[in-house]
Amino acid sequence: MAPRKRVTIPDIARQAGVSRGAVSFALNGRPGVSEQTRSRIMAIADEHGWQPDRAARALGGARLDVIGLVVERPATSLGAEAFFTDLIAGIQSGLAATDVSMLTRVVGDSESEIRTYRTGHGSRHVDGVIVIDPRDDDPRLAVLSELGLPAVVIGSAPGGPGEQTTVWLDDRKAAHTLFDHLRDLGHERIAYVTGPAEFQHTRIRAEVLTGLGADGTVVVTDFSPSAATAATERLLAASSPPTAIVYDNEVMAIAGLRVAQKRDIRVPDDVSIASFDDSVIAGLMHPSITSLTRDTLALGELAASHLLAQLDSDDPLPSIAAPVPVLSRRESTAPPRDRR
């Protein structure tokens, strides 16, 4: 069966018995046609399911009703992280009541992400973008400012004057929540297995750990389960292994748990394990994994609605706080052996 031919402005003009200009005025809500003519044109357009040509709208400088999200993660680990599944679902939920859609791209490094922004802006693919994993002196944000591409950052602190608006989570407070829990249990030797060191939240969490006065070890990885496995192997094989290991996400924590189980190291009797991200799977593991639980769906909805508001504003909007995560204490953390 041949696909249905897409209706065009000339088609609507012929059926309504008016000029193409009148159809354009009516569909774009501009004056120049009577309300009776506008109603007739809109009825014909609705009957045929007319949608504007995005390429034509881009050339004309009109709103495209498309936002972008570029994710810098290994493709092998992205699908396993509940954070991104929930974040994307939340963004889509925040767009559901509008005609705005989302374009998502996965890249391997920040240079590729910057090229994507430049290409997308030059060819008018998106109206604005949601940015994740901010760095200190982030070159991506400088490029977005240079391009004049509206953006909302999901970050660890409010944006400064003249900077992009931020939906922010107090990562320093969140890090204290998790690390203080382990210190209160009596852990002195704590390891933190992180993602890339340049991420702002990685630096903040590492600073909190070293500031506690504990024997803290920071191991940088790329978020992948294989890197977390290798890091855990090295930590547990050390002459003075940590009594607690904290991972940046639950996938890495599960990988670390598997290493301990294969080495017959009991969790939490011999080592406690915790994660900065939570998921249903983390709660179903045996032992279940102590995690920081955040409403990532609400975070995505908030970022989407804030970006839509930013698109309607000529000036940067004030940053807004995201839902505060809470500690879900589960079976994988307990006092170290010498404190029991």
Domain at 18, CATH number: 1.10.260.40
Identify the pLDDT of residue 46: 78
Identify the pLDDT of residue 330: 97
| 2 confidence band (pLDDT: 50, 70, 90) | very low
Q: How far, in Å, CA of 171 to CA of 197, rounded?
A: 15
Tell whether 332 and 202 lie within a shared domain: yes
pLDDT 10s digits, 113-136: 999 888 876 556 788 999 999 998
pLDDT 10s digits, 58-113: 444 456 689 999 988 776 666 677 888 899 999 999 999 888 899 888 888 888 99
> Has residue 3 been placed in a domain?
no
> Has residue 2 been placed in a domain?
no
Tell whether 206 and 260 lie within a shared domain: yes
148: number of Cβ within 10 Å: 7
pLDDT at 1 over 50: no
DSSP one-letter string for 278-330: --HHHHHSSSPPEEEE--HHHHHHHHHHHHHHHHT-SSPPPPEEPPPPEEE--
| 39 confidence band (pLDDT: 50, 70, 90) | confident
Domain that holds residue 157: 66-170+296-325
Tell whether 127 and 200 lie within a shared domain: no
Q: How far, in Å, CA of 254 to CA of 183, rounded?
A: 22
> Has residue 161 been placed in a domain?
yes
Tell whether 32 and 176 lie within a shared domain: no
pTM: 0.78
Strands 189-194 and 215-220, by their bridges, are parallel
Q: Where are the alpha helices (DSSP H) in 200-294?
A: 200-211, 225-237, 250-262, 280-284
Tell whether 320 and 333 lie within a shared domain: no
Tell whether 278 and 193 lie within a shared domain: yes
Q: Read off the tokens for 145.
A: 């400012």
How many domains are contained in the chain?
Answer: 3
Tell whether 219 and 278 lie within a shared domain: yes
> Has residue 44 been placed in a domain?
yes
